Amino acid sequence: MINSREYKIFKFRELKTALTKRYPGCKTVATANGFAVQSASGKSLIPHKYPSLQSAKDVFTAWKNLFVVDHWEKIEKRNNRGFAADINNSTADDPNGTTQQPYEYFIENNNLKKEESYD
C-alpha cells in the first residue's frame, strides 16, 4: 500500500512533467508570500484574475494551482469560442431590429437578395 507521502511525490512528478511540457523552462521560485511557478522569463504563469492562487504555502500546492488554473483557462477559452460562434450565427432578433433568416445562418458573405424581393 502506498502511503500519503509517496503518493504526493508521485502526483508532484506527474504534475510537473505535464506542465513542463506545456510551459518549457518553468521553475519554482520562493516569494515573500510562499512559493510560485514562473516561466523561463520570470513571469508568473497564473493570471492576475486568480490572486489567491498565485502563491502557495508549499511547492506541491504551487504546481497544483498552476495545473488547476491552466485547466480553467482551457475550458474558458473553449467556451468563449463556442459563445462567439453562437452569437455570430444567431437567428434571433438583434438589437437593431433585423433578423437573420435560417438559410443565412452559415453564409459568410451575405450578398443575397431577400426572398420577398424576387419577382
Q: Give residue 80's pLDDT.
A: 77
Residue 119 located in a structural domain: no
Residue 20 located in a structural domain: yes
Residue 46 located in a structural domain: yes
Stated pTM of the model: 0.67
Nearest to 69 by CA among 84, 82, 55: 55
Residue 50 located in a structural domain: yes
| Buried/exposed 12-43: b ≥16 CB within 10 Å, e otherwise | beebbeebeeebeebeeeeeeeebbbbeeeee
> DSSP H helical segments within the chain, as ranges?
4-22, 59-88
The three-point CA angle 37-35-52 to 5° equals 85
User: How far is C-alpha 83 from the geometric centre of its chain's CA atoms?
Assistant: 14
Q: Give residue 77's pLDDT.
A: 86
Quickly tell me which residue has 475550458 as its cell.
75
Q: What is the pLDDT of residues 48-89, one digit of tens each?
A: 999 999 999 999 999 999 999 999 999 988 887 777 666 666
All three cell numbers of 116, joined, read 420577398
Q: Give residue 105's pLDDT.
A: 52
Residue 117 located in a structural domain: no
Based on the structure, what is the number of domains in the chain?
1
pLDDT at 21 over 80: yes
Q: Give residue 90's pLDDT.
A: 61
The model's confidence at residue 3, banded by pLDDT at 50, 70 and 90, is: confident
User: Looking at this protein, which amino acid is placed at residue 15?
Assistant: L
pLDDT at 10 over 90: yes
Q: What is the pLDDT of residues 99-116, one digit of tens each?
A: 555 555 554 555 555 555
Residue 118 located in a structural domain: no
Query: What is the span of the domain harbouring residue 87?
Result: 4-110
